[in-house]
Structures are given as C-alpha cells and as structure tokens.
C-alpha cells in the first residue's frame, strides 16, 4: 500500500503513484457546456434526443438515457437493442450500463426480450441495492419494474443469422459487426457528467457471452472529479485493458481527452504483443470542462458531438 509520504514524494517528482507521469496542473483542456458526445456517426440522432434535454437546462443522466434509447429502438441498427444480430442460438441478448455524476452506476447483461436495457440499468442503480443484474434475474427485475417483454429478433436479423449458420464462422467484421454499439457522455449546464453504453454485443457470439459494454471500467467509466469515457469495438480487448477506466486515469494524470483515448488504444495493441489483426476498438472521452476527444485503432470511427456549435460527426485520429 502506498503511504501518504510516498505519495507526496512521487508527486513531487512529477510522477503519480504507479509511475503515471503527472502533467502540470495549469494544463487545462477546456470546452463548452452543455455538450453531448457519442460513438460513431450513428450517434447523431441519439445526440438530438440528448440535446432536447440538455438545451433546456436538463439533467445529464436524463440526456444520456434518452439519447441511447433512440438507437435501442432503431430496428435498422444491427448492434443495439431490437433488430440487433443474435447469438449463435438465434437469441438477442442485450448489455447496457449507466453512470451518474456521483459515480453511481447500474448495469444489466445477457438480458433477453426487454427493449430498453439502459432504462433497466438505471432502475438497477436507483432502485436496487446492487450495481449489476444479469440474464433471467435482470429480466425478472425489469418485469417487476413495469417493463414489457417483447420479441427483439426482427425478420431481417433472423434472415442474416440463418445465412451465417451456413458457414458458422466467428470473425467479427471490423466497423461492421461491431459498428454501432452506442456509448454516450453528457455534461449539463450545472456541470453534472453522466454516461451510458448499450449494445446487443458481437454478432454471432456464444450464448452467454458478455462484452465490455455493461462492465463498469471497461465499456464506461465516470469519475466525478475528472470526466468520463466510453468504449466501442471488440469487447474482449476492451475488458482486458479496463479501457474506459484507463482513459479517465490518463485524463487525471493531465492528458487531454484525445491523448487519453490514444493511450488506451495503444495499450490494447501492446497487450496483444502488437498483433492487431481484426481488432477495432475506439474510445471517446469528455472532461469536466467540456473538452472532448476520441481515438480508434482502425480508421473509420467518428465521435458525434452536439454543443452550441451544432450537431456533427467528427472523424478521429487512428493508429492503423
């Protein structure tokens, strides 16, 4: 355990505990508030719903829930909510989480037949003594809290699954089968920051597989004093590096949101001994001043941003 005097010694030397370099405090990366950012270009319509809340002085947590629900309800989005591609058994199983400005969190994983997992995750946070519920237990909790059961496998997704059964090859296609997992971060007028992340996960996954999206610290992390980060892409790699937590810790060490996201993408490549074949992962981050950024391993990822300058998709820098 690091003692207080050791902590003071390392910080005096310009190092945070565990060797993280410290950037001088005067380094500020400022932006505008309110602001909402989300993953991929498809985040633009989700941003509209979030901005409805933020532009009226509303609460960041309400904004991120309203925002990501747009994609959960979008049947054309093949990696989120209803219409999402199923697992190998033809079951659509959903993962989601949410965090508020106090660092409180709620999460559901491997949940079936409930269209809005992010809202169930919020109920877990607000109305249960737990942080995470999975599978049948998550569904029963949702039904107890007024959610309705429905079939989430659309005819289009079922037809694609039947085609996949001919080959049964599991090799997620970069920027296609992992493409629309939506993560969102919002900072409201009062300076409250919140985040949400929701997905149907990797197409054709094994039954029972859970990705990064509902895992606090992997798919999403908020530190009330610093800011937040969310991830998208191949969940297994993001879990192995606790990606979103890493991004927030890098911002704590003084890096800009973009630099922090870059470090997390590099860490994935380093951890896999430089072998990045077939791996796409991307992060977006927002700090308490409203500065934001993103970074991806492979080209083709955008951060969608809505602030007083309007709603737009901004391509991010990438490693490969």
From 38, 39, 194, 199, residue interacting with ligand GLY (rule: CB under 6 A): 199
What is the CB-side half-sphere exposure of residue 204 using CA atoms within 13 A? 17
- Of 203-222, binders to ligand GLY (CB under 6 A) are 211-213
* CB closer to ligand GLY out of 50 and 282: 282
Q: Give the span between the Cα atoms of 60 and 53, in whole angstroms.
A: 8
Contact of 64 with 195, CB cutoff 8 Å: yes
Q: Point out which span in 106-114, 152-160, 227-235, 282-290 binds ligand GLY (CB under 6 A).
A: 227-235
Residue among 185, 282, 286, 303 at smallest CA distance from 232: 282
- Of 79-138, binders to ligand GLY (CB under 6 A) are none
Contact of 204 with 164, CB cutoff 8 Å: yes
Evaluate the CA torsion angle 249, 281, 43, 198 in order and state its sign: negative
Is 199 a catalytic site residue? no
Contact of 248 with 285, CB cutoff 8 Å: yes
Contact of 47 with 34, CB cutoff 8 Å: no
Q: Point out which span in 25-33, 35-43, 126-134, 198-206 binds ligand GLY (CB under 6 A).
A: 198-206
* CB closer to ligand GLY out of 47 and 79: 79
Residue with token string 């990797």: 202
* CB closer to ligand GLY out of 46 and 54: 46
Q: Indicate whether 181 belongs to the interface with ligand GLY (CB under 6 A).
A: yes
From 34, 233, 257, 290, residue interacting with ligand GLY (rule: CB under 6 A): 233
| Active-site residue, selected from the candidate residues 39, 93, 154, 181 | 181
Q: Please compute Rg for the chain using Cα positions.
A: 19
Nearest approach in angstroms of CB 181 to ligand GLY is: 4
Nearest approach in angstroms of CB 26 to ligand GLY is: 36
Contact positions vs ligand GLY (CB under 6 A) = 178, 181, 199, 201-202, 211-213, 232-235
């Amino acid at each position: 355990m690091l003692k207080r005097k050791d902590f003071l010694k390392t910080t005096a030397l310009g190092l945070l505990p565990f060797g993280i370099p410290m950037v001088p405090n005067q380094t500020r990366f400022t932006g505008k508030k309110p602001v909402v950012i989300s993953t991929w270009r498809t985040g633009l319509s989700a941003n509209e719903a979030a901005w409805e809340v933020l532009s009226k002085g509303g609460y960041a947590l309400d904004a991120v829930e309203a925002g990501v629900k747009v994609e959960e309800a979008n049947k054309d989005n093949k990696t989120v909510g209803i219409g999402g591609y199923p697992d190998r058994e033809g079951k659509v199983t959903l993962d989601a989480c949410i965090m508020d400005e106090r660092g409180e969190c709620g999460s559901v994983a491997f949940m079936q037949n409930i269209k809005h997992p992010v809202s169930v995750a919020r109920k877990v946070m607000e109305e249960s003594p737990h942080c995470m519920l999975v599978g049948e237990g998550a569904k029963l909790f949702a039904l107890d809290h007024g959610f309705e059961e429905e079939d989430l496998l659309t005819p289009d997704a079922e037809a694609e699954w039947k085609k996949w059964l001919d080959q049964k090859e599991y090799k997620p296609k970069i920027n296609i089968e992992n493409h629309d997992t939506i993560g969102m971060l919002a900072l409201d007028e009062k300076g409250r920051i919140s985040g949400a992340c929701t997905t149907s996960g990797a197409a054709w996954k094994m039954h029972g597989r859970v990705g990064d999206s509902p895992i606090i610290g992997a798919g999403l992390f908020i530190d009330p004093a610093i800011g937040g980060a969310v991830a998208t892409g191949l969940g297994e790699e993001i879990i192995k590096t606790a990606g979103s937590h890493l991004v927030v810790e890098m911002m704590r060490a003084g890096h800009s949101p973009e630099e922090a996201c870059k470090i997390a993408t590099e860490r994935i490549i380093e951890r896999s001994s430089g072998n990045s074949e077939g791996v796409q992962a991307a992060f977006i981050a927002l700090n308490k001043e409203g500065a934001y950024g993103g970074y991806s391993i492979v080209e083709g990822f955008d951060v969608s941003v809505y602030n007083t300058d309007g709603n737009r998709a901004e391509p991010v820098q990438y490693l490969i």
